[in-house]
């Protein structure tokens, strides 16, 4: 290899190293910003009778079990939704879109694309609310059935 080619190759290697180092710093800064935006909210939770996990941006999504039934949370654009399938092997995503039986909440949230950047601690609050409302609806249905006998 000629001296000229070796120099060009060495310059190219230095440029690539600097470029990759810059991308690494950029990625670290983005990861730090995303982590800080999440506050002190955990990615996974196990509570009384329910458990679940959260992740992502645009949409923020969560899934888990409540009283042995699968639930699904999604925040994207300008709304959020929470659904629970009525069967243990059911798909709460289908419930969200009205294609299966279950419990569902769908509410507006800010302006587009605010919901997709929702902080996890706020998402957990909506999930907890959805679980409370789901359990209340089951109790009300059970009471109604009890009155009819």
pLDDT digits (tens, 9 = 90+) for 58-80: 899 999 999 999 999 999 999 99
pLDDT at 30 over 80: no
Which pLDDT belongs to residue 39? 62
Which pLDDT belongs to residue 146? 75
Q: For the chain, what are the domain ranges?
A: 1-37, 42-147
Tokens of 14: 């230095």
For residue 1, count CB atoms less than 10 angstroms from its CB and return exposed for 0-12, middle for 13-18, buried for 19 or more: exposed
Residue 84 φ/ψ region, left for φ over 0, alpha for ψ in the -120 to 50 degree band, beta for the rest: beta
Which pLDDT belongs to residue 113? 93
pLDDT at 50 over 90: yes
Kindly report the pTM of this predicted structure. 0.73
Which is more confident, 19 or 51?
Answer: 51
On average, the pLDDT of the chain sits at 87
CA distance 41 to 119: 8
Confidence of residue 18 (pLDDT cuts 50, 70, 90): confident
DSSP for 34-94 reads HHHHTTT--SEEEETTEEEEEE-SSSEEEEEEETTEEEEEEEETTEEEEEEESSTT--HHH
């Amino acid at each position: 290899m000629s001296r000229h080619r070796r120099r060009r190759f060495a310059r190219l290697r230095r440029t690539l190293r600097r470029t990759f180092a810059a991308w690494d710093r950029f990625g670290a800064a983005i990861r730090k910003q995303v982590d800080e935006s999440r506050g002190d909210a955990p990615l996974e939770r196990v509570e009384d009778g329910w458990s679940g996990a959260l992740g992502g941006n645009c949409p923020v999504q969560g899934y888990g079990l409540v009283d042995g039934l699968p639930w699904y949370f999604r925040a994207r654009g300008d709304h959020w939704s929470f659904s629970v399938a009525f069967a243990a092997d059911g798909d709460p995503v289908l419930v969200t879109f009205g294609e299966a039986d279950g419990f569902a909440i769908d509410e507006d949230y800010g302006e587009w694309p605010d919901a997709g950047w929702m902080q996890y601690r706020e998402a957990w609050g909506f999930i907890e609310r959805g679980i409370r409302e789901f359990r209340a609806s089951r109790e009300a249905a059970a009471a109604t059935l009890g009155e009819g006998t």
